[in-house]
Structure 1
């Protein structure tokens, strides 16, 4: 019997085409089903969070302090409006920060309005301003990270690249108490200022880098812009600093940089000070004494390999309070914001003084969260 291979091939091709169509339709159906399941899961999570909150949705008021200079500011406020509406809550009380006031007065107004959460929609500077008025209160802090570094959001485990998820956490997230660092800066001339730090405050190299990072590079390259400034300042001169921690005796160091850390993770998951945790009741004081490039290589190696022990050019000490006294004025920064010259800094930890929605201790074991 003669087999007509042309018909066989045609039939096989037809079967392949039909199977491809069926598989494509099934895949499309599965994608829709998966999307629907995700939507239902999110709905259940929000519903459970709303039900678990001590107030009824209609009695909750969400405040927002937004840095309108950020690219995603409009999108962030839209997300908050939508989330409040979906939960049956009143319209949020939204205020814009200004160049003169990054959020202090706005937060005071939100507290007076009866907001039970005030969301900081901006960078770490906006966050710090809002937190300065919420510390010691029962009003929770929510975070929608819109900045270059978003260091605190990274350290507490927020999905900082997903503004929708951050909005849900800010409004409905589990409250967690975190420590704050209360700072007193003394300026040349004797004037004193009270400040707060949530991440890392420091003098020397880090402050010089923050002050000298070019805005145009930050806009184009994000946090990588800090590296360019770092290369220009890394080999600067060390300065004499007296360090007194808790009730210990003062010690004098020749330092290139000194850090007071409430958290220890930087951009790209770099754990500069692995010991630093945002809820352990201590600050971690890091003292950097490098003299040349080889010393800096040791610091980089310690950081890269997460080596916990001290090395000669980088010592870390834990304390609840401390005082830095500079022999000459030193540049200083707080959570990535350059704040000018100081001649002394007093710091104390306020344990569990700030309520944050969405903070998670899982980040301590999983820094790549």
Structure 2
């Protein structure tokens, strides 16, 4: 999918004040860059604890912004993107948090606000897929989930947008158990500390079923049923530290990639780590990989879930589908 140049000149920055150390300096930096590139003077809208970015994004769209940039963590990115899905208004990505996972997967600058601003203002538009997830505390039948083709290009009222990954199990426990104060000091390494604290917590029985065109389904029967530690569904595949959990995942292929991780003890975890590090794609007895347009995940008990790194509590079931080419992003 090729990028196309854009003549858009109106920018709104939706920012999380908790993630911006020096707001005045950031505003001056963006304003000067906008002037150099021939853009209008940017508008700025602050998020709050209750309004985390989606409402502000919709306000920016109604005001006629051509690009709405997120300046904050991954949660702010997801909230702002939710307001832009299905429109021609582009999402800009300015680093302000620990993860910046969407920017990382798109190869955009994450260590320099100045570089990220230049990439956004001087870049081009690219359409990407988004994932949609709904949760339930009762089992979801695969036939009852939101079919991709029937759902069309709309986000249902009970669905949440995700851009990178969602799932349940150990990944949800890690996100829920990460100390925010520690994360503020050591960055993404705080997730490693949380990972080891939950490494040997008990697993859960789970059934994962994929659906979609036969051409994209990877496994005969399209179902995995086993005792697992975590299930992750990805729109793209790179985690913190450059770890490629899903090496085949592409952000604009209309397909979701899923891993079901089921290690037993320390040796099982070593086997999983070896698989990920060596980019082994066929899967083995500790790790199953599936691909499809839609997934239904039913656990045997309530399990901690997460969406783009934000813990959302314990749930029994997830219904997840892809919404292809539904979000415009500014890329360098």
Which bin holds the TM-score, normalised by the shorter protein? 0.7 to 0.9
Q: What CA distance in whole angstroms lies between the structure 2 residues aligned with 1:115 and 1:223?
A: 32
1:168: which partner in 2?
118
Q: 2:139, 2:298 within 8 Å by CA — same for their partners in 1?
A: no
Runs of 4+ in 1 over 6 A off after TM superposition: none
Instruction: Deviation per CA, 1:128-159: give whole Å up to 9, x if none.
Output: 00111111100000000111111111111002
- Secondary structure, in 3 states, of the residue corresponding to 2:238? coil
1:117: which partner in 2?
67
Q: 1:62, 1:171 within 8 Å by CA — same for their partners in 2?
A: no
Q: What CA distance in whole angstroms lies between the structure 1 residues aligned with 2:160 and 2:246?
A: 22
1:138: which partner in 2?
88
Q: What CA distance in whole angstroms lies between the structure 1 residues aligned with 2:278 and 2:222?
A: 32
Q: 2:296, 2:319 within 8 Å by CA — same for their partners in 1?
A: yes
Q: Pick one of 302, 309, 312 that aligns with 2:275.
A: 302
2:218: which partner in 1?
none
Instruction: Deviation per CA, 1:237-265: give whole Å up to 9, x if none.
Output: 11011211106565422110000011111
Q: What CA distance in whole angstroms lies between the structure 2 residues aligned with 1:339 and 1:99?
A: 15
2:16 is aligned with 1:67: yes
1:351: which partner in 2?
324
Q: What CA distance in whole angstroms lies between the structure 1 residues aligned with 2:67 and 2:20?
A: 23
2:211: which partner in 1?
246
Q: What CA distance in whole angstroms lies between the structure 1 residues aligned with 2:159 and 2:288?
A: 27
Give the count of matched residue pairs: 303
1:307 shift after superposition = 2.0
2:186 is aligned with 1:236: no
- Secondary structure, in 3 states, of the residue corresponding to 1:69? helix
Instruction: Deviation per CA, 1:173-210: give whole Å up to 9, x if none.
Output: 111111100111124799x9421111111100011010
2:49 is aligned with 1:84: no
1:293 shift after superposition = 0.7
2:265 is aligned with 1:266: no
Q: 1:260, 1:283 within 8 Å by CA — same for their partners in 2?
A: yes
Q: 1:124, 1:150 within 8 Å by CA — same for their partners in 2?
A: yes
- Secondary structure, in 3 states, of the residue corresponding to 2:33? helix
TM-score, normalised relative to structure 1: 0.78
Q: What CA distance in whole angstroms lies between the structure 2 residues aligned with 1:141 and 1:102?
A: 15
Q: 1:73, 1:146 within 8 Å by CA — same for their partners in 2?
A: no
Q: 1:66, 1:73 within 8 Å by CA — same for their partners in 2?
A: no
C-alpha change, 1:235 and 1:219, in structure 2 (3 Å) is same
Greater RCO (CA < 8 Å, at least 6 residues apart)? 2
Q: Which has the larger radius of gyration?
A: 1
Within 5 Å, give how 1:185-200 maps onto structure 2. 185-187=135-137, 193-200=158-165
TM-score, normalised relative to structure 2: 0.87
Q: 2:163, 2:308 within 8 Å by CA — same for their partners in 1?
A: yes
